[in-house]
Structure 1
Amino acid sequence: TAGLCEETARYAVYRWWIRSARTWREALMFGAGHGGIEAILLGVLAGIAFVQLAALRDTDLTTLPLTAEQLAALQKQLADYWAAPWYFGLLGAVERALALCLHLSLAVMVLQVFRRKQVWWLGAAILWHATVDAVVLYVFTLWGAYWSEAVLAGLAAVSLGIVLALRSSEEAPLQEPVSTAVTVAPAPVVVARAESDLEEKLRESQFIK
């Protein structure tokens, strides 16, 4: 679902909003902007969650208007959160950095719909996005967060490979044409004829005296 919605939205932005963005570099900027905004929003949500959990850490939870089941669930959530190692909290930042590579590849793939006039690139982007999400979720379910991040790192490397493979040769700057003007020297025959005419006029001038 995420792949279908996000890539369709990406296509719509290319189609109706940034119609002039048709280069590889502009696609990278678009993908970085998408991934960056997503990372910022998730970072804000994570920050809000941290503030809430920190506030509840020293609070007597029994004073809150919670049922017994809700109280037990909240106590377990707090215990698990604060018992986790400090570096566990960095996984979110690592995941966003790796996801940015995915967004770059998807932005370049959807761009090919307009550069190459082939709509199947949109389907390829949707499929690639859905594949990454499904594989990472499957690994997370079986082996946990660390293995899922490792797999995501491998998929991010594949995404960067897609970005480089789709780099257009037209992105190279055009070179200024070199002037080919050539100064043509006077032909030897013409020079010799001019010298002969000059000598003849000099001889004639001797008889005019």
Structure 2
Amino acid sequence: MVSNSVIISLVVVMVLCFVVPIGALIFFKVKEHFSIKTTFVGILGFVLFSLVLEQLMHKAVISSKILTVGTLGFGIYGALAAGVFEEVGRFVMFKTLLKRNREWKDGIGYAIGHGGIEAILLGGLGMVNSLVIALAVNSGTLGVLLKGQSSSVADTVKNSVVNATVSGVALGGAERVFAFIIQIALTFVVLYGIRQRKNIYLLIAILLHALVDFAPALYQSKIITSIAAVETLICIFAIIGLVFIVRSKKIFESAELIDK
């Protein structure tokens, strides 16, 4: 059975993953009056470069056995791949579809789309899935839900919610919020580089992104075993990112727009 406290935590985190990006979109749309086009392009950038192209790359690497899953090398590769695909995605989108959208408000619009759809798809829908499984376990209908699946798959799915804890679910929700903040900060790094025609900022964004993803990649590879340590590190990155976001507006206003 899945405890009521875990089910409640799943609901809270699920709602959080939807409310934070949607709330940010409404707040900044009213405050900054950016074009909603930038948000949709941000969504497109994440889906195309992260969910499609990056995943195709992962499949190719895994199938070719160039790197072994669960090793330090694969962890480094995974972190760098995330950095390359997502940051290059931002760069390409601003260079093509958003040629006329290079102001700070455009950066926040794009970032909310990119980071928001990540929070919704990876966090919100993930929690919906876990909630459905938890309710099925408690009602005794998991077998019907997983009809046709092997017993090993059914046991794995069941254990994923039966062994869940309130603290574990809460950490997952916190990570989504931290990631959302970091995604916004990285967007401004790339956009500033485009504005100033300095591609070195794209490289900086890639390396920063890889640095943020390195600890989670090592945790997934079971090289790091403390989830609390990983989330603490991501929290620190998020705080730094939040400070940068607040200061970035003045940086954009004081810097001349070199490339339109």
* TM-score, scaled to structure 1: 0.68
2:100 partner SS: coil
Q: 1:22 and 2:97 equivalent? A: no
2: CA distance between counterparts of 1:132 and 1:102?
9
Q: Residue 14 of structure 1 contacts residue 111 of structure 1 at CA under 8 Å; is this kept in 2?
A: yes
- 1:6 aligned partner: 86
In the TM superposition, what is the alpha-carbon distance from 1:72 to its structure 2 partner?
4.3
Q: 1:166 to 1:49 in 2, by over 3 A?
A: same
In the TM superposition, what is the alpha-carbon distance from 1:75 to its structure 2 partner?
2.5
Letter of the 2:228 counterpart: Y
Output one character per residue of 1:59-98: Cα deviation in whole Å (capped at 9) or x when no partner.
485x9555xxx52453354245223323422222211110
- 2:165 aligned partner: 85
Q: 1:159 and 2:241 equivalent? A: yes
In the TM superposition, what is the alpha-carbon distance from 1:165 to its structure 2 partner?
4.7
1: CA distance between counterparts of 2:125 and 2:111?
20
Q: Residue 101 of structure 1 contacts residue 156 of structure 1 at CA under 8 Å; is this kept in 2?
A: yes
CA RMSD across the alignment: 2.7
Q: 1:136 and 2:216 equivalent? A: yes
Gap runs ≥5 in structure 1: 173-209
Q: In terms of Rg, which structure is larger?
A: 1
Gap runs ≥5 in structure 2: 1-80, 255-260
2: CA distance between counterparts of 1:65 and 1:170?
56
Q: 1:51 and 2:135 equivalent? A: no
1:167 partner SS: helix
Q: 1:55 to 1:128 in 2, by over 3 A?
A: same
Q: Residue 136 of structure 1 contacts residue 151 of structure 1 at CA under 8 Å; is this kept in 2?
A: no
- 1:148 aligned partner: 230
Q: 1:167 to 1:64 in 2, by over 3 A?
A: closer
Q: 1:169 to 1:109 in 2, by over 3 A?
A: closer
Letter of the 1:25 counterpart: K
Out of 94, 97, 101, which is 2:174 matched to? 94
In the TM superposition, what is the alpha-carbon distance from 1:51 to its structure 2 partner?
1.0
Out of 24, 27, 38, which is 2:118 matched to? 38
Output one character per residue of 1:144-165: Cα deviation in whole Å (capped at 9) or x when no partner.
3222111110111122233345
Q: Which runs of 4+ in 1 moved over 6 A?
A: none
Q: Residue 104 of structure 2 contacts residue 249 of structure 2 at CA under 8 Å; is this kept in 1?
A: yes
- 2:151 aligned partner: 71
1: CA distance between counterparts of 2:142 and 2:184?
46
1: CA distance between counterparts of 2:253 and 2:213?
31
2: CA distance between counterparts of 1:165 and 1:118?
20
Paired residue total: 169
**Identity over aligned pairs, percent:** 26
